[in-house]
Amino acid sequence: MGKSRVANNIRKLRFHHHEMTQQELAEKVGVTRQTIIAIENAKYSPSLELAFRIALAFGSPLEEVFSYDSQNDPI
């Protein structure tokens, strides 16, 4: 539980896309608004498929929407 190591720019991207609401984004990608809120607050890491759908909704590459904090990684 707690914060995920997958960070995102969804809030910023929504703002730059005509101030898209969380509900509008949720409808575009086919999830509930609660899931978008959880992803935005880094409380839930979406599946790869949903991550791609969110990136597609913004017309941005995946790495522009999500980033991974690799500090303290064993690799």
Partner 1 sequence: MSYQEKNIAVSLVCYTLVLGYFLTRLSQLHQNGDLNSADLFGLWAVVIVLSIIITIVGAVLMHAGSAIIEVIRTGEEDPKIDDSQDERDKLIDLRGTKVAHLLFSVGVFLAMLTYVFGQPPLVMFALLILSGLAAQALSDIFRLALYRRGF
Report the nearest approach of partner 1 to the CB of residue 34 (Å): 5
Q: State the virtual CA torsion across 37, 38, 41, 43 in degrees, nearest 10.
A: 180
Q: Site size for partner 1, by CB under 8 A?
A: 15
Enumerate residues 14-53 that contact partner 1 by CB under 8 A: 30-35, 38, 41, 43-44, 46-47, 50
Residue 13 sits in the site that holds partner 1 (CB under 8 A): no
Q: What are phi and psi of 8, to 5 degrees?
A: -150, 160
Report the nearest approach of partner 1 to the CB of residue 15 (Å): 22
Site for partner 1, rule CB under 8 A: 1-2, 30-35, 38, 41, 43-44, 46-47, 50
